[in-house]
């Protein structure tokens, strides 16, 4: 969904995501003057409060957070997440927002910004809330452990797990910043964002309703709040679990081993756990909710039920509040509930066909369940690769690994798409040598490695702590998000041939503009975040202090038809 408005040569286009809105701006050539220095952005919240969005970079270069009426954004798009600055992070003011955007100009004589010209102010109204499209609801982790936002809020402490048991009291104090004390629950909630909130609330819903029960596929498992909820469900006889027992999860020291022991001690009634794997991993991350033992909705996605999964990795969840989709996942669960069943799963009908849903109330979706035969896996990934190659306007993706040694056709297609200057290609990964950072005067796509950022950021930015875990754990690809054939692939599958042949996984394909747009905004959020760090990182003192340009020099590339920033401006604001 988007809303667009133009006035006196200024355009504002707002795209709705999940608890975030992407704002894209444009101006006509007659407004592109030598003293054009960016855009001021103001919003009016559902409560009626008005604030300017905040910029970290200002004209002084002192690092102070500055409202954009005094420090305009020198970009042609920006993402607003309610609760970032002016509102409570625990109770974001979701609802209908009105955004106001004004191009700004520098008065060289007075050495100051010209007065904001309301004749050039354009506004739109759009929902900035949790996204639900028909029966499908999305959620994303914030994945900002490495960020200025984390340092500003929680300081430099990034030790997310205290010593001792993984099943600890998350109301314990994590850190004190100034006079403010933060608990582990505060930190997990902020980092886990809408994905953790959705998952925890789903488990609480099952626990609080006597008619409900849950069946769970889990891979990594050590998130203490989720662990306590699952053990409470076991005590009530309201949960069954398939938990991976591959080598890293089967040791005596593994949290999964401890969870299994606690589960078996707590369980009653029909509560039961199966430890197993398919050929390699039981890699799904799924919660099926049943009412009076009949499936009613299902959560899937890339998010492991672990501290790393919800608080460190960039991940997503998707909830189908639909009985037919939930029933399919329940059938797959039953066909996997036993070690012997897992060994022969690839021979069942669930692993050898694509399940399509086009009925009323469900976005146009298709779902596959691995492990597959090599023939089916090759065909499935080949179809996805062909779709990448045939994209017309854009390819945006967040993939944990694009390692050159990994089998299958999808990874090469995503690495090569950056060379297609006929479309907008934007991607981020944790593993590839084939990175492509922004080069002025080139329409070549951008591909960022989010994990190889070991150097210091230039002043005025604070030091950011690193964490030995994947930053990008997503597995999604968005194709032509702004077209009628917009498509997004997501789920637990790493989109590699080995995984599709050997792992218990599910891959979801949704052809829906609103869902594709939400994933596209998530991709842009992460790519911009890590691309900045890849471009700006360097030894202390090597980089100049970052400050705003007092001329239009920063914007000229947005009007150069041979530059990807021109493609960016036309794609999002057009």
Per-residue tokens: 366: 């298709």
Reported confidence tier of residue 437, pLDDT bands at 50, 70, 90: confident
- CA 165 to chain centroid: 29
- H or E stretch at 476: strand 475-479
> Residue 316 — pLDDT band, cuts 50, 70, 90?
very high
What is the mean pLDDT of the segment spanning 163-169? 95
CATH 3.30.870.10 residue spans of the chain: 136-536
For residue 425, pLDDT beyond 70: yes
First vs last Cα of the chain: how many Å apart?
14
Q: pLDDT-based confidence at 404, cuts 50/70/90?
A: confident
Which residue spans within 257-348 are E strands per DSSP? 272-276, 286-291, 294-301, 316-320
Q: What top-level class would CATH report for the domain 2-129?
A: mainly beta
Structure confidence at residue 405 (pLDDT): 84
CA distances from 468 to 154, 184, 211, 313 (A): 18, 19, 42, 11
Instruction: Report residue 498 as tokens.
Output: 């080995």
- Find the Cα–Cα–Cα–Cα dihedral 14, 127, 522, 76, rounded to 10°: 20
pLDDT of 411 > 50? The answer is yes
Residue 91 pLDDT greater than 90, yes or no = no
Residue 446 CB burial class (10 angstroms; 0-12, 13-18, ≥19): buried
Model pLDDT, residue 338: 97
What pLDDT sits at residue 202?
A: 98
Distance, CA of 406 to CA of 411 (rounded, Å): 8
Q: What is the mean pLDDT of residues 391-414?
A: 95
Confidence of residue 540 (pLDDT cuts 50, 70, 90): very low
Reported pTM: 0.96
Beta carbons of 203 and 226 less than 8 angstroms apart: yes
Position 396 scores a pLDDT of 98
Q: pLDDT tens for residues 247-300?
A: 999 999 999 999 999 999 999 999 999 999 999 999 999 999 999 999 999 999
215-243 pLDDT, tens digit each: 999 999 999 999 999 999 999 999 999 99
The mean per-residue pLDDT over the stretch 346-369 comes to: 95
pLDDT at 539 over 50: no
The closest alpha carbon to 426, from 476, 370, 470, belongs to: 476
Q: Using only C-alpha atoms, what is the Rg of the chain?
A: 24
Determine the average pLDDT of the residues in 51-69.
93
Q: What is the pLDDT of residue 541?
A: 42
Percent of the chain surpassing pLDDT 70: 95
pLDDT at 344: 97
**Residue 459: its pLDDT value, please?**
62
pLDDT at 506 over 90: yes
Q: For residue 366, which of 378, 376, 354, 377 has the smallest C-alpha distance?
A: 354
Mean pLDDT of 3-25: 98
Identify which has the larger pLDDT, 124 or 466: 124
Q: How confident is the model at residue 359 (pLDDT cuts 50, 70, 90)?
A: confident
pLDDT over threshold 70, residue 415: yes
Residue 542 pLDDT greater than 50, yes or no: no
Q: What pLDDT sits at residue 151?
A: 87
Homologous superfamily (CATH) for 136-536: Endonuclease Chain A (3.30.870.10)
**What is the chain's mean pLDDT, rounded?**
94
> Do the Cβ atoms of 527 and 426 come closer than 8 Å?
yes
- pLDDT beyond 80 at 453: no
- Please tell me the predicted confidence (pLDDT) of residue 546: 85
Q: How confident is the model at residue 461 (pLDDT cuts 50, 70, 90)?
A: low
Contact of 500 with 380, CB cutoff 8 Å: yes
The structure tokens 């842009």 sit at 524
What are the structure tokens assigned to 225, written together? 């709040």
pLDDT at 87: 61
Q: Which residue has the higher pLDDT, 457 or 396?
A: 396
Dihedral Cα 299, 300, 301, 307, nearest 10 deg: 60
Strands 475-479 and 394-399: antiparallel
Outline which parts of the chain fall under CATH 2.60.40.10. 2-129
Say if residue 465's pLDDT is above 80: no
């Amino acid at each position: 969904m988007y809303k667009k408005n133009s006035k006196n040569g200024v355009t504002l286009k707002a795209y709705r995501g999940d608890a975030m809105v992407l704002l894209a701006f444009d101006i006509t050539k007659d407004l592109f003057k030598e003293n054009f220095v960016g855009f001021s952005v103001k919003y009016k919240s559902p409560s009626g409060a008005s604030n300017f969005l905040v910029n970290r970079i200002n004209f002084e270069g002192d690092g102070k957070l500055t409202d954009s009426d005094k420090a305009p954004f020198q970009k042609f798009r920006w993402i607003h997440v309610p609760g970032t600055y002016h509102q409570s992070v625990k109770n974001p003011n979701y609802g209908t927002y009105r955004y106001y955007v004004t191009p700004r100009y520098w008065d060289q004589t007075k050495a100051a910004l010209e007065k904001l010209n309301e004749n050039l102010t354009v506004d739109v109204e759009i929902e900035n809330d949790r996204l639900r499209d028909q029966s499908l609801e999305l959620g994303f982790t914030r994945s900002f452990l490495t960020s200025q936002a984390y340092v500003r809020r929680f300081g430099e402490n990034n030790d997310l797990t205290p010593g001792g048991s993984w099943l600890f009291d998350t109301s314990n104090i994590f850190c004190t910043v100034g006079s403010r004390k933060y608990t582990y629950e505060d930190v997990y909630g902020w980092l886990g964002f809408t994905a953790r909130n959705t998952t925890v609330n789903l488990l609480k819903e099952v626990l609080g309703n006597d008619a409900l029960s849950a069946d769970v596929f889990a891979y990594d498992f050590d998130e203490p709040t989720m662990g306590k909820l699952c053990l409470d469900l076991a005590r009530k006889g309201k949960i069954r679990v398939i938990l991976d027992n591959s080598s890293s999860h089967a040791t005596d020291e593994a949290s999964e081993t401890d969870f299994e022991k606690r589960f078996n001690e707590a369980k009653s009634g029909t509560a039961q756990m199966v430890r197993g794997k398919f050929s390699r991993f039981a890699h799904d991350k799924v919660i099926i909710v049943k009412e009076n033992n009949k499936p009613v909705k299902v959560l899937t996605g890339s998010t492991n039920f672990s501290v790393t999964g919800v608080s460190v990795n960039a991940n997503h969840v998707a909830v189908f509040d639909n009985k037919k989709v939930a029933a399919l996942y329940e059938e797959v669960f039953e066909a996997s509930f036993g070690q012997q069943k897992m060994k022969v799963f690839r021979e069942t009908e669930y692993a050898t066909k694509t399940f399509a849903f086009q009925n009323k109330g469900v976005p146009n979706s298709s779902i596959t369940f691995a492990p597959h035969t090599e023939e089916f896996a090759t065909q499935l990934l080949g179809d996805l690769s062909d779709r990448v190659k045939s994209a017309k306007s854009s390819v945006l993706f967040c993939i944990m690994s694009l390692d050159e040694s990994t089998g299958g056709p999808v990874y090469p297609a995503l690495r090569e798409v950056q060379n297609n200057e006929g479309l907008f290609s934007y991607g981020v990964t944790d593993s590839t040598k084939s990175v492509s950072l922004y080069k002025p005067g080139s329409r070549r796509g951008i591909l960022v490695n989010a994990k190889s950022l070991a150097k210091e950021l230039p002043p005025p930015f604070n030091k950011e702590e690193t964490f030995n875990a994947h930053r990008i754990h997503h597995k999604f690809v968005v194709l032509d998000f702004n077209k009628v054939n917009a498509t997004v692939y997501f789920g637990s599958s790493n989109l590699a041939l080995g995984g599709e042949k050997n792992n218990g996984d599910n891959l979801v394909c949704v052809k829906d503009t609103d869902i594709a747009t939400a994933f596209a905004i998530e991709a842009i959020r992460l790519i911009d975040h890590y691309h900045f760090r890849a471009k700006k990182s360097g030894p202390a003192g090597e980089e100049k202090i970052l400050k705003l340009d007092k001329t239009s020099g920063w914007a000229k590339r947005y009007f150069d038809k041979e530059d990807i920033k021109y493609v960016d401006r036309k794609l999002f604001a057009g």
